[in-house]
Structure 1
């Protein structure tokens, strides 16, 4: 059978695959010439490659003595000796020999000579020759390629069209932890079962199909060389073709970029930590309310860091005492906030907000605040739960909820441990790591200052509120001709207690003084100033002074309490004349309500605030008949940041319209309609109704 122009390739299973061999192969590059001589040294076969190499056609070469045609005279004896040696069966001869070209030039050819024996016993000599320079170039290129492949630090491999290894270099053997012979004939998935090979094999198929190289594909996984560590590689793939364009397979290069991968992961973790901390800076500490600040910390931690978070403060810190936990002693915590990423039994295991819990010295949260260091249990066991939960029931709830990792970090503000942030994971399958502890500590450090600010503010506010309430009047005795109701409401949690006050002062001759005032400012000092002014007002009213004289004296007293100013309305009711003389010092006007009439703001001289000094005060007489009401109030009832004062005063007058109601109801109705729980100012409200 004529198989000229066909090549037999060995497939991946070792079977012979016959098919045409396109031009451009290695033999074509070398241009190997075949020449056959008979026993006398005459040329009997002359290949086309011989004609291309030496210039003689077959007609010119056949039948002629090779030594005379191709060899210079000075080399003839040497050639004849070598010919005789080959023909006598003493072996083959190989080497470089100068041969004369048809054009007269001499060419150095690389020869392989051997004896042939036909079926009749006749002897022949076969010479295979190629140009020495071409052969040396090919050998040099091949040697360079082999050396580069063998010594390259880059893992190199060649795969056939079925994506099975046919060659790997030593570097890839080291990278994969697998000898070359264990690669050959296998796919990536078979050779590297610990690696997610599907994306890589998909890329290889794409390269085979399109011929477009795949560059720097990132692959992460584990190998047999280092199964306990995750590595990263940059893999590039190229399609291999022969000179005729036939696809032979793909070549791959693999560069270990694990260090770069780890650096990138660390940089990404650092960026993530910064983003979380920046978000926490915005979300935590929006108010000075202690419980809300604790809730904000818990909400930031869930689900960013944990499936559930609890914020607990040492009870001593809430009381304003030093919070050092005695070595070996228990710790008392007050739970402030609990947050969960989803409904879970573990939330029931946490201490409810507001509760006080005692944890012995061996408990992990106690160890955390005692050592001022994070306590982490990456993998929680049954014994660990008994050191985390408050009691066996809570431990059982946490176990059923699937809690498997625990982290507690201390809340440290101004060098003092004030509590702890407790974190647990259940659905999140990853255990806590040192990176998590670092991030949690950063969040806790920032939040602790906000919590500490809220803690001290609440203590100061409670003190001021206690002081102010102690300075406000007790319910007055039964008044002649008047029925009164009053309210004091402190500012919301985000602001301090102010200096608002009211007074109901029974005076001789059945007269009654009604006073409402507001010390500008807030806090303990404002409350103290308010108490001093109230005492002075009581003293001045007891002297039987007119309203203008009372305010004049209060103005002098307030000027000595620099830098404080105050507004005030002083109303003196005389039931015998059915009149009320009113004088104001920079205060909002009272409202008069009369049966059958619309409520009205009294048009009174405003006057300057107390403490300005040198400004006279004027008094206005207002008739009050039985059933008439007088409403006195401080600006906290009507002032807001988003509406002008006239609009708010109109709202007050509108609310007072309609049939007259019980005074207590009117007080509550005004506060509910005009006040918001977070209003930044306190309010004093006083309503008096004339009786027969």
Structure 2
């Protein structure tokens, strides 16, 4: 008689023999197979987040000095160091090298400069093939004082400054070439880990590209400033009875604000300020042409400022019909303290003395190039002995960020607050007004406005 068939249960084959042995009880729960991978991924995400934050901070820097400071601090954080040194020097250029320290004073930098360059890791990074140092992940010296071959002077400086290890890295990339190098110092023997070297290497390559862009930008700004200075008077004339002072700042893109002071026949003096619309090389070239033309017209008919500006307007309309400009020309006779001026859409002068501080009431007129034929009546006034006439461009007002009416009031207040002891010095007057109007300084890099201030003090 055959054995009875066991009933079938879903998923179970009753004919498969069941083991009679009992498995040992689990004493601990084994880790999930992916826990190690998850930890690695979490570490990578954390590293990438840190690197992203540091590169974002570097990208937000707009000047070379700010970028170098950020690079030094970020590199120190990535390699776990407290102090560092960076040298920026581009091969094939006449630009002097830039040295910047982190946690190192001027005296410390002086001591480091006494060490022979080839005896330091930074020197080998700067002078050797950049790809060699980059391929090794930088040059690490984990125990400087324990190195028997260390240069004696280097050992002396390291002992004096209190660092025992260093890590140097070239600032180089395939596109930008080598711009310099950086070294970070450790207080105790040690060196960055492989992961730290990898992160700081990625950061340094990005930083090199950013530094190359900022270097080119600053070189272009310097060239623009040089051209602008060459287009303006190299020195102010000396005329009996009047003393002059001028301050000028060209925007980073190059602007069209200008000034002039030229001696005229019969011991007269011509003063002019103006602003050409637009920015960049074309505006600078137009500014140079207008200034040269005004000088010629002033010599021929300077006693009539209206005629001078009328000729200038005709020239602008015929040669550059799409361009506009503002201008103010004053014909001065210092011996009699007589001033005759005409303005074309320009801001009015300000007269400052012991008894008054007020704007000169000029007639309202359009800028040059806006009307088919420009003409406006001139204004005549006589500064008292010891008074200063202040000419300026609207860039001074716009740089304040205030509305124009408030900017005019602010300028009036700045002029009125000049100390009485300084009111007889035109240079002191201009400097005081600029400090009061622009507390951040005339050379603030984030402003695109040109600034011109011309002061004439009548004795």
Q: Answer whether TM exceeds 0.5 for this pair.
A: yes
Q: Secondary structure at the match of 2:22?
A: helix
| 1:382 to partner: Cα distance | 3.9
Aligned 8 A contact 1:413 1:449 in 2: no
Aligned counterpart for 1:688 among listed residues 424, 434, 456: 456
Q: Which runs of 5+ in 2 are unaligned?
A: 1-17
For 1:445 and 1:293, the matched residues in 2 are separated by 14
Aligned 8 A contact 1:363 1:388 in 2: no
Aligned 8 A contact 1:369 1:420 in 2: no
For 1:652 and 1:410, the matched residues in 2 are separated by 47
Aligned counterpart for 1:668 among listed residues 425, 431, 434: 431
Distance 1:554 1:142, change over 3 A: farther
**1:312 aligns to 2:312 (yes or no):** no
For 1:615 and 1:387, the matched residues in 2 are separated by 83
| 1:514 to partner: Cα distance | 0.5
Greater relative contact order, per chain length (Cα 8 Å cut-off, separation 6+): 2
Q: Which runs of 5+ in 1 are unaligned?
A: 1-139, 150-155, 157-250, 321-332
| 1:661 to partner: Cα distance | 3.2
Instruction: Kindly report the root-mean-square deviation, in angstroms, between the aligned alpha carbons of the 2 structures.
Output: 3.9
For 2:346 and 2:32, the matched residues in 1 are separated by 79
Aligned counterpart for 1:651 among listed residues 410, 417, 426: 410
For 1:470 and 1:650, the matched residues in 2 are separated by 33
Mapping of 1:211-610 within 5 angstroms? Answer: 251-255=27-31, 257=33, 260-307=34-81, 308-316=83-91, 319=94, 334-340=97-103, 348=109, 358-359=117-118, 363-367=124-128, 369=130, 371=132, 373-374=134-135, 375-377=137-139, 380-382=142-144, 392-393=154-155, 396-397=158-159, 400-403=162-165, 406-412=167-173, 414-426=175-187, 431-491=191-251, 495-545=252-302, 546-558=304-316, 560-561=319-320, 565-574=324-333, 579-597=338-356, 599-610=357-368
Aligned 8 A contact 1:584 1:617 in 2: no
For 1:576 and 1:401, the matched residues in 2 are separated by 70
Aligned counterpart for 2:389 among listed residues 604, 617, 630: 630
Distance 1:371 1:390, change over 3 A: farther
Aligned 8 A contact 1:386 1:392 in 2: no
TM-score normalised by structure 2 residue count: 0.78
Aligned 8 A contact 1:567 1:610 in 2: yes
Mapping of 1:127-142 within 5 angstroms? Answer: none
Distance 1:489 1:438, change over 3 A: same
The aligned residue for residue 124 of structure 1 is: none
Aligned 8 A contact 2:330 2:340 in 1: yes
Q: Secondary structure at the match of 1:254?
A: coil
For 1:344 and 1:530, the matched residues in 2 are separated by 45
For 2:116 and 2:315, the matched residues in 1 are separated by 51
For 1:297 and 1:540, the matched residues in 2 are separated by 54
Distance 1:478 1:383, change over 3 A: closer
TM-score normalised by structure 1 residue count: 0.54
For 1:588 and 1:651, the matched residues in 2 are separated by 14
The aligned residue for residue 616 of structure 1 is: 374
Larger radius of gyration between Structure 1 and Structure 2? 1
| 1:294 to partner: Cα distance | 0.7
Higher strand share: 1
For 1:648 and 1:449, the matched residues in 2 are separated by 40
Aligned 8 A contact 2:164 2:185 in 1: no
Q: Secondary structure at the match of 1:373?
A: helix
Aligned 8 A contact 2:389 2:456 in 1: yes
| 1:348 to partner: Cα distance | 4.9
